[in-house]
Chains A and B, each alone.
Chain A
């Protein structure tokens, strides 16, 4: 009891105080506690550093033993008619537990090894060595991915107590393996999976969360009597995704792509077939297809020496190039297939009337540039239908100038050019930065844009916009999935048609259809015509950059039947390796594909009364003769330019944009 405490006490009447000595003792105790806590922290770090790795391994090892994951089945991907495009098959891994096999003085050894040798035909000596070498292991994967047929014998033997009464320490772990019954079919749309059920590309990636389920688990725990008990929680299987893709249409598309690829060796080919009534994609493919069951195999594309010379990065780049979906990932200048949109915009805004006439003299001079029509002699006096049918650049430039940059740009946005269509597939490209905003669109830009040069689009953008142009103006967002059902067959989600916007009025749509029909009937797209059907559409021959290389992207987009379009088909042939790059390659490809698809879908021919077809009655027929006169006048000198050739527009660095003069069918 110190004096200082007493001194402090005088102020208070408290009978007892917490004096200095007590404070020191408390301090010592607290210090002691803190030291203990520091010591325990050190133990914690020690346990992690010294034994951590061993413990981590033990955690994993025992997880496989007493607590088994029961894998879920990843959902199937079906085509619109129920054809299985992707599925998961149960496979079995054979697991050995050497510790159990060797326990109880080797009582189980003989029967267990005998059973394995008899049922699977494995090598006895090898098994014995393996079991003895791993005598402390509890989990050894001996064989992977056995089918049910492979292990059936063994399961029977195991169930039969008499054959191998002491069979122990051998069991199976189930796993699912992803299989694609048609290997490469619709590879761009389906995509594939990597280990752990992670979808890469296509529906596999976009709908990964639906396709995947939740693992179940069978786990053992020790109860109060120290006995291991097993509890099982079943796995939740993934949902099945039903695609809008039609197996047969996809097969037809891929057949012709392969054929044209073989003949023309183009840089790329793409075909999309859509239903314009709801935005469902029925088929979609690019040039490169790969085996979904073996997506990393490069041998189909490169020689063994080439592959050996590749670095890992080269390989990955090569694979990515193969895996990408041309129809949604790559952008390009559309060329003349863009003309109907330019005219639709002017018509819709009332800037032009359907009976306005334009004089094509073969070129237009704008700001020091000479922009030529593909027919250097000029198309003469034509109306807007003929401008579509004969793909006249001059008329289009006049129409675009009338509507102005503001309207043109507004309609580009309305048709969703440059922007993602939000199709339900991963990796869709946006090329919005390659579209001129109205504020930056000069007269030359407007003129070249009017016939589809100097801005970029993707195939799906064009197909979706075209669908709206010919279905009365309804823009449905394109999609490749129709319905999602769960593992019990219940509907999880119906993907309905989603009307995004009205692009043009129904009247405008009807007028444009007339021009498109004329294009196939008498204009540049005649080779796309199919007997008996009122096929309508638009050709495109876009000149690729750099312009002086004179390489072209040939395309055709068309629809059928005429009155209520059910199919839109867009074909792109990029820079075929031929002398004379003509849209005929695209139109005949379109014709071949559509001929088979129309027959397959039992779409009745609507063109029996072709002369009395309601689409182009009075208006076009009158200028037709007028136009014909002009064409005939031009023809003797330049050949069949107007009727067979595409329209090609080139921009030369010297400031001349000109059309391709000679573009005949080879």
Chain B
């Protein structure tokens, strides 16, 4: 790749601005939703805000780091990253694992903790992008496809079984699936397989019963199953539905005062709708849609297939989380516990999402545009 063919490029500024806006808005909402509970539990209304601020500051640093260096570097770390993820997930079972809110999902020591599931998402994106761009034609063979799906499935399964984190497992599988479907020439088969898998899953759920089935029941009739776990969903719905067109005003939510448990996490979107109304909720949705459109533009103009696939993976990650989160909050699908990117409280996910944004910016910087020749002539 000769340097001569490319002019020095700038980052995709509209993506950067959107990211910065969402991060700032997220901080405001984390404070708004958590201050009351934080004041009650820790006697410090900014308790969650402070932690989130630290994570955000770190995230911004990481973003500018990954945005500045050439993303091709990460190709070398694809396999290492994949293996590291497996090690981290296994570490959860050791004494290094940390249990919180009834789930063992973190590893770490003392005040530093970290969720391997978030690393897994990034690792899968880089691993798949590296693999698919190296041997694009192999993907069309059945054997390779199955091997690839096995790699993704292994991580997803480990996340599901070891950390009992269904939502992250779904997202990892979803990212891999979307990347494969774009790269493969046999995408029809992927759709057939996906539909078949969904049918099996639904059938299995109906047969298996138990915990998962209860979730479905709660989903269908949250009012009737309030005591069994519908409480959170129901309260989020109350919050979302009571906002009206322009909401009760920033900071004026009633539902965050102990009704929507941990409103700063999964259910933050319901409080946004309560405080800023349908208007605020849709404005956020539009921002995410704009972001996804930017990812598509970056992917389309990327320098090479590796860059394109990275951005597609990132896009899949953000899109899946946004769609699933809002679907849960509006009770369109059963509750799975997915956070809203950039806005929900959560240190690990903030840092890794910011790292991904840095990657996307790095790709946008190296992107080739067809007008380059003209530009050269003009120069």
Contacts and interface: CB of A to CB of B under 8 A. Distances in A.
Nearest to A30: B296
B352 interface: no
A-B pairs, 5 with minimum CB distance: A55-B241, A16-B305, A56-B242, A219-B258, A16-B136
B64 interface: no
A473 to B, nearest CB: 51
A181 B318 CA distance: 65
Contacts of B355: none
Given A40-B285, A48-B243, A48-B278, A17 B305 contact: yes
A37 B269 CA distance: 14
Interface in A304-325: none
B359 interface: no
A29 B178 contact: yes
Interface string A277-306: 000000000000000000000000000000
A595 B164 CA distance: 88
Nearest to A218: B258
9 contacts: A14-B304, A21-B185, A41-B282, A45-B278, A51-B237, A52-B241, A58-B238, A63-B254, A226-B229
B327 A67 contact: no
A224 B327 contact: no
Contacts of B239: 59
Nearest to A220: B258
Given A16-B134, A16-B136, A27 B296 contact: yes
A22 B183 contact: yes
A124 to B, nearest CB: 33
A40 B305 contact: no
A48 B231 contact: no
Contact of B299 (A13, A18, A67): A18
Given A29-B181, A30-B292, A226-B227, A47 B330 contact: yes
A33 interface: yes
Contacts of A54: 241
A62 interface: yes
A148 interface: no
A214 interface: no
Contacts of B238: 55-56, 58-59, 62
A120 B224 CA distance: 36
Majority secondary structure, A binding face: helix
Nearest to B183: A22
Given A29-B178, A217-B257, 10 more contacts: A14-B304, A26-B300, A37-B326, A40-B330, A44-B285, A48-B243, A55-B238, A219-B40, A222-B231, A224-B102
Contacts of A51: 237, 241
B330 A44 contact: yes
B312 interface: yes
B77 interface: no
A418 to B, nearest CB: 41
B243 A34 contact: no
Nearest to B322: A37
Given A26-B296, A47-B237, A221-B258, A55 B182 contact: no
A350 to B, nearest CB: 62
B241 A40 contact: no
A59 B254 contact: yes
A29 B182 contact: yes
Nearest to B245: A48
A37 B40 CA distance: 36
A440 interface: no
Interface of A: 1, 13-18, 21-23, 25-27, 29-30, 33-34, 36-37, 40-41, 43-45, 47-48, 51-52, 54-56, 58-60, 62-63, 66-67, 217, 219-222, 224, 226, 231, 233
Interface of B: 1, 37, 39-40, 101-102, 132-134, 136, 178, 181-183, 185, 187, 227-229, 231, 237-245, 254-255, 257-259, 261, 273, 278, 281-282, 285, 288-289, 292-293, 296, 299-300, 302, 304-306, 308, 312, 315-316, 319, 322-323, 326-327, 330, 332
Given A222-B231, A226-B229, A43 B261 contact: no
A531 B242 CA distance: 73
Nearest to A8: B370
Nearest to B232: A222
Contacts of A217: 257
Contacts of B326: 37, 40, 44
A46 to B, nearest CB: 9
Contacts of B296: 26-27, 30
Contacts of B316: 29
A248 B18 CA distance: 68
Nearest to B136: A16
Contacts of B323: 33, 36-37, 40
A45 B244 CA distance: 9
Contacts of B273: 44, 48
A25 B187 contact: yes
Contacts of B1: 13
A146 B301 CA distance: 74
Given A16-B305, A59-B239, A26 B312 contact: yes
A229 to B, nearest CB: 9
B63 to A, nearest CB: 23
A67 B182 contact: no
B134 A44 contact: no
A71 to B, nearest CB: 16
A59 B332 contact: no
A30 B293 contact: yes
Contact of A55 (B132, B237, B245): B237
B292 A52 contact: no
